[in-house]
Structure 1
């Protein structure tokens, strides 16, 4: 998935009612010279920051243009301070501002560059948790006349010849003072690069935070162009850099995120005591969603619907993710959530609890909404102990017997005495939580996810879209069976091949990708099924595929209640599904067929031996639906749509969820929370060590994976194929060393 350069931060100023009165913890320094053209977007970026405890010192460096507009911006916010001086160049203006800064952290920002809303907060905590480091910085986006992503592993040796860093970072003021701030060697030279080199020459090291949070504007009139585009400036700048670089006598290692977690640490979770609220007033219920990632899938589609359709007048959601990930759906969530923090980008896992404790206090969070984050489950006993008024709820999509003896359902069962409520997507999972995992009745409720019934309507797909797909996949007038899913053992894609061999009157259209896609494609080719099984890859919008299809097939080994089933029925397409999870709670005889599962979940993951009986049942069900009379088929399509409208829409889900959230704020529920918190405080050390052990477990797992990663294998192969590698192997065989390991 490509980077979206159109999503520039600061296109609009957000008014979130943030607190502007506290003492600044960081000082943003901006040199301003005839910068009106782009300044408003930079202004919006700064005022949209999630971290409101800043002062913004703007130094007008002798602008020759009018500055009326700048002065108007300054008047809008008490945190903005404007100074005027004679023109001396960017370094001179920045130094002027730094000398007047009240905080201990300096953040230079050019008047035309952009920053993501979480930029200040990530930089600040990058330094907060790494006391030995002098500055923190992020990766960057080049935009404007050039577009590129800039992400380089830090190297003090390479820094002597190429500037690997962006020109904005958070620098400890006392370290900056030690190098005399920026060198004032004329107006145009690489003053940022020079400052980084001077810090390195003093043995100072940086924190490299992951994430494209800084946007560097490329323009014909920019400082980079004025420095590099002029021969004299370029030569002088090079001489200055070379001179400073000679003072770097030792290699400096940066802390690079995401980090390899330290093992044998057993760090005790720490609570940050924080008394500054982010918001001026408490006028909404604030909900923190603790999730593993933001990726394509049913669970994140549910999360997206929650934040999308929530009552924005009453509720505000924030998101924290706990696992390293590309987070390819982050853009979608950003449309509805003002702040998203991806913890692996700037924190070690041992510091997650501290940051989350700060976040809960600074945002005055009312509800922790946990879903699919294993770290989150092991955190909540400690959170319950530390935050007696915080409501803690979770959502479980399914039990998974083949993974950790029940998956998230198991650990939700374990945490039943700490969790206030658990919501599940189907009645079967509720029953398992109560009867198998011992959850108290009434503490688990079924909250059907549903589907956006307004979005998923057959009438919203034009016939031309359907014809395009027919032509693309050479379908002609053949019937279509849709197979929309991640190509993963859980979905049993190789069962589809066996079914397709028997259903010769239809084309099976596979939409999705996953770890078994290439193998499945090869099997189709080897079996001569290429004309009857087509692959569409991942689709951004599934509606035209449903509109094209006669049946949706779900033959999974495990589901909670598949969102593809909801979507298909909303589009008027019947579903043939395995009897797993809550599928039969949605799919009745009027809208499809339920097929008995012919394998056992615990032991048959990726078992490709399918019973003839199961294949026959799928075949008969599909054929019976494909050969229905036109009138019966039309009635069934109407029944599919009606089934969703009766009570399986996301609108219903939101109404039910928000009713639950309101009930969670009653006096009785608050009293219950405080009682549980008081009980856990009696075992405070146990709750702390419980989390410490989990963090240690994850660190050991990550260490093992890293040491056995494909990269390591590739490196070993490279060494083995080298001249010295071949000699060592030859010598080992001559000495019969290989016999030792037989």
Structure 2
């Protein structure tokens, strides 16, 4: 004999005399053999209670009827659960209808899948029971939700369960989650999201409920509350997401790179709320958060306590204090300690390179201290903290005028053996100061590429300007080294160490490729093109998107993954939408390197049409993952990408680039064998000439060489000519004078604005007083005067130029003085 557990059907109602009889009869007709009906009247003022009692009188199933003061649907449901005895709880709103097989089919679905919460497909009906026009939109929503790995992703966009009347759940789940919360319109959506944190809601793909839409419905009467409540329930979901026991709950930790795609493309509605958007960003950032140690916090506090309260920065400086706290030496014996000076810790190839060399050099006895010099969000701080806890973001705790003193304090405290500089404008400007204070500590900088349009070369130009303070420069490729030598640097002090990838991490994986493509509903035979870069002009995303548009216009069947964030992201997203390419192009936003591997291994071609590069780290990684390269012949990229591995195009007009890139990609789309051949060659080139071990050896040998030179006092730094020194000092003077003029201009603007504000404030005060005076009660003679004035005004205006004007003016003033009391 089959055991059918008791199901308690709870019906919350309020002023639904029109529909509740039909609702209750739909429950009574269930083919499920063991259920009870509990109606909770939430303070109805019509004949709902009478209708319920009359209807119940003819029922043979167990029933309960409870009345309470009006408290809201959520309170009525919670009261119904208290009154119930069932192992399972079903809810039906009093204007909706069950299909006869609903309870039996919903229970069977839960039992067969060993789950505790289910909802079904519904039919939307109108006042008369006819299908409502909204049904088509609802079905489209369900169809769109099928593109996600689980239908429950849709709950972060819309409430596809529609109503509490669509719920069937086990009592143990209610006891674990707690009661329905006091939302007017979204208590149902809120409850599903709370379930989603714990386990997967089960969708029964069959219409088993009629949901009525009418003008007296709770949602229709409270539409003004929806957005506020949606914001609250989403904040609750993301608050609890980090502790979710449901491994399929939509979130960055659970879904990796797919979350990037989903969050970037499908959460526009909820991300309109600044609080929700900030919460999502924080969750994404903290997925792998590691926090700084008490030791580094203590060092900051010690220094700040020593210098006292921050003093205003003055440009008319006479004395810059350099006194620092007395240090207790902390250098571990047998270790080299490197001070790395960076601008920030954000997501980028240069930062990934630093992480790689920290990983490699730590194996040879190096430990690290990191300083950042530019204001930034530092979203990758957690990654650096897994390599060293000794990190100091200067803009976050120090005024600019204390940067030099803190550097001195930290270098002495940590007994720094070598200073390593990468891409920091402030760091280069501090070099003369550091060189004078610490003449025996070698200073090395690393250069990625030349930027002709910025400072006549970018950071390589700064390296040349300060080469008398540097013991060695390491370049990412021969092209950068040659540029430096052509500009006058000594070739003996410039080494080339390429930014090689970890080929053990970046490698092809066919099984994972199939898994990732399945998430996006992409077949294994479709060509996937990957573009990964910051969306800035240097990476030419405009050329990329125009090329993809041309491929689509040619009728090629392909998909494209675009990974990266930047100032051009929203513009690119609009172009994708306007060009109807949303089914072909997947936008991921910023992608963490650990998740980035999934995009490499699930792609077939790597496309990066940069305007300028040294050698892009993403090209190294793509080649290590066995992808052919389509990119730009700029910087040193031809040193890595040979004709066996891919195609590099020289700079040319945008139109010509788009046509040429489209032609190359067309060839690769149509020739899987060529893609395969080039991909194998790419991987082999990394293994044979650009392995992570070779990078480690190159960097380590360069650093040991410069350390040895210092120990033997044989290392000679470059000496600038008098003309070069004069140019550098002239630059300091120009920058200082420009800063002075800007400050003076800003101060004048501030004083002008202050004067304007005071004048406006005074005018406002006068107007306020006059307005207040007008609001005061007036005597009857005042209103009499205004009536006479309005009555005679047309005559006064007509006679204004006549001979009687003088007499009339005197009469008017006399009447005004008598009636109003003004002269």
Residue in 2 that maps onto 1:428: 479
Matched, 1:492 2:540: yes
The alpha carbon displacement at 1:486 in A equals: 1.0
Residue in 1 that maps onto 2:496: 446
- SS of the residue corresponding to residue 657 of structure 2 reads helix
- SS of the residue corresponding to residue 388 of structure 1 reads coil
Match of 1:644 among 686, 696, 710: 686
| TM-score, normalised via structure 2 length | 0.51
Kindly provide the CA deviation profile for residues 514-558 of structure 1, in whole angstroms up to 9, marking residues without a partner as x.
111111111222233333332122222111111121111001111
Residue in 2 that maps onto 1:417: 468
Residue in 2 that maps onto 1:569: 623
Matched, 1:513 2:555: no
Kindly provide the CA deviation profile for residues 90-147 of structure 1, in whole angstroms up to 9, marking residues without a partner as x.
xxxxxxxxxxxxxxxxxxxxxxx996332211122223223xx4xxxxxxxxxxxxxx
Aligned counterparts of 1:270 and 1:700: Cα–Cα separation in 2: 25
Any conservation in 1 of the 2:441–2:710 contact (CA below 8 Å)? Answer: no
Aligned ranges for residues 435-584 of structure 1 at < 5 Å?
Answer: 435=486, 437-459=487-509, 462-471=512-521, 477-504=525-552, 505=556, 506-540=558-592, 541-584=595-638
Residue in 2 that maps onto 1:122: 300
Any conservation in 1 of the 2:605–2:675 contact (CA below 8 Å)? Answer: no
- SS of the residue corresponding to residue 515 of structure 2 reads helix
Match of 1:622 among 654, 659, 665: 665
- SS of the residue corresponding to residue 534 of structure 2 reads coil
Any conservation in 2 of the 1:308–1:336 contact (CA below 8 Å)? Answer: yes
- SS of the residue corresponding to residue 484 of structure 2 reads helix
Aligned counterparts of 2:241 and 2:516: Cα–Cα separation in 1: 30
- SS of the residue corresponding to residue 576 of structure 1 reads strand
- Say if 1:508 and 1:675 are closer, same or farther in 2 by CA, change over 3 A: closer
Higher helix share: 2
Structure (1 or 2) with the larger CA radius of gyration: 2
Aligned counterparts of 1:704 and 1:429: Cα–Cα separation in 2: 40
The alpha carbon displacement at 1:561 in A equals: 0.9
Aligned counterparts of 1:706 and 1:550: Cα–Cα separation in 2: 57
Aligned counterparts of 2:516 and 2:433: Cα–Cα separation in 1: 53
- Say if 1:377 and 1:701 are closer, same or farther in 2 by CA, change over 3 A: farther
Aligned counterparts of 1:565 and 1:357: Cα–Cα separation in 2: 39
Aligned ranges for residues 688-727 of structure 1 at < 5 Å?
Answer: none
Aligned counterparts of 2:416 and 2:683: Cα–Cα separation in 1: 39
- Say if 1:671 and 1:272 are closer, same or farther in 2 by CA, change over 3 A: farther
Q: Which stretches in structure 1 are left out of the alignment for 5+ residues?
A: 8-112, 134-206, 208-254, 256-260, 600-609, 729-742
Aligned counterparts of 1:370 and 1:315: Cα–Cα separation in 2: 16
Kindly provide the CA deviation profile for residues 482-517 of structure 1, in whole angstroms up to 9, marking residues without a partner as x.
111111111111112221122131222211111111
- Say if 1:642 and 1:118 are closer, same or farther in 2 by CA, change over 3 A: same
Aligned residues: 468
Kindly provide the CA deviation profile for residues 332-370 of structure 1, in whole angstroms up to 9, marking residues without a partner as x.
111111300111122111211111111111211111101
Any conservation in 1 of the 2:335–2:366 contact (CA below 8 Å)? Answer: yes
Aligned counterparts of 1:297 and 1:707: Cα–Cα separation in 2: 40
The alpha carbon displacement at 1:618 in A equals: 0.8
The alpha carbon displacement at 1:644 in A equals: 0.5
Residue in 1 that maps onto 2:807: none
Any conservation in 1 of the 2:369–2:390 contact (CA below 8 Å)? Answer: yes
Kindly provide the CA deviation profile for residues 373-400 of structure 1, in whole angstroms up to 9, marking residues without a partner as x.
1111111112112211110110011111
Kindly provide the CA deviation profile for residues 66-90 of structure 1, in whole angstroms up to 9, marking residues without a partner as x.
xxxxxxxxxxxxxxxxxxxxxxxxx
Aligned ranges for residues 592-631 of structure 1 at < 5 Å?
Answer: 592-598=646-652, 610-611=654-655, 613-630=656-673
Aligned counterparts of 2:407 and 2:635: Cα–Cα separation in 1: 33
Aligned counterparts of 2:457 and 2:382: Cα–Cα separation in 1: 31
Any conservation in 1 of the 2:470–2:717 contact (CA below 8 Å)? Answer: no
Aligned counterparts of 2:420 and 2:336: Cα–Cα separation in 1: 12
The alpha carbon displacement at 1:470 in A equals: 2.8
Matched, 1:307 2:395: no
Any conservation in 2 of the 1:481–1:553 contact (CA below 8 Å)? Answer: yes
Residue in 2 that maps onto 1:354: 405
Aligned ranges for residues 383-402 of structure 1 at < 5 Å?
Answer: 383-402=434-453
- SS of the residue corresponding to residue 304 of structure 2 reads helix
The alpha carbon displacement at 1:694 in A equals: 6.4
Aligned counterparts of 1:459 and 1:708: Cα–Cα separation in 2: 61
Any conservation in 2 of the 1:401–1:407 contact (CA below 8 Å)? Answer: yes
Any conservation in 2 of the 1:382–1:688 contact (CA below 8 Å)? Answer: no
- Say if 1:511 and 1:443 are closer, same or farther in 2 by CA, change over 3 A: same
Any conservation in 2 of the 1:557–1:580 contact (CA below 8 Å)? Answer: yes
- Say if 1:498 and 1:122 are closer, same or farther in 2 by CA, change over 3 A: same
The alpha carbon displacement at 1:669 in A equals: 6.7
The alpha carbon displacement at 1:577 in A equals: 0.5
Aligned counterparts of 1:468 and 1:699: Cα–Cα separation in 2: 60
Please say which of residues 521-530 and 366-375 is displaced more in the overlay.
Answer: 521-530
| TM-score, normalised via structure 1 length | 0.57
Aligned ranges for residues 64-83 of structure 1 at < 5 Å?
Answer: none
Any conservation in 1 of the 2:475–2:495 contact (CA below 8 Å)? Answer: yes
Matched, 1:297 2:351: no
Any conservation in 2 of the 1:269–1:688 contact (CA below 8 Å)? Answer: no
- Say if 1:463 and 1:502 are closer, same or farther in 2 by CA, change over 3 A: closer
- Say if 1:313 and 1:583 are closer, same or farther in 2 by CA, change over 3 A: closer
Residue in 1 that maps onto 2:644: 590
Please say which of residues 286-295 and 271-280 is displaced more in the overlay.
Answer: 271-280
Any conservation in 2 of the 1:378–1:690 contact (CA below 8 Å)? Answer: no
Matched, 1:367 2:409: no
The alpha carbon displacement at 1:306 in A equals: 1.1
Residue in 2 that maps onto 1:332: 383
Residue in 1 that maps onto 2:53: none
Aligned counterparts of 1:115 and 1:703: Cα–Cα separation in 2: 42
- SS of the residue corresponding to residue 562 of structure 2 reads strand
Q: Which stretches in structure 2 are left out of the alignment for 5+ residues?
A: 1-237, 244-290, 769-823
Any conservation in 2 of the 1:451–1:567 contact (CA below 8 Å)? Answer: yes
- Say if 1:574 and 1:696 are closer, same or farther in 2 by CA, change over 3 A: farther
- Say if 1:699 and 1:330 are closer, same or farther in 2 by CA, change over 3 A: farther
Residue in 2 that maps onto 1:739: none
- Say if 1:707 and 1:342 are closer, same or farther in 2 by CA, change over 3 A: farther
Aligned counterparts of 1:659 and 1:418: Cα–Cα separation in 2: 21
- Say if 1:264 and 1:117 are closer, same or farther in 2 by CA, change over 3 A: same
Aligned counterparts of 1:661 and 1:4: Cα–Cα separation in 2: 47
- Say if 1:268 and 1:383 are closer, same or farther in 2 by CA, change over 3 A: farther
The alpha carbon displacement at 1:698 in A equals: 7.4
- SS of the residue corresponding to residue 503 of structure 1 reads helix
Residue in 1 that maps onto 2:273: none
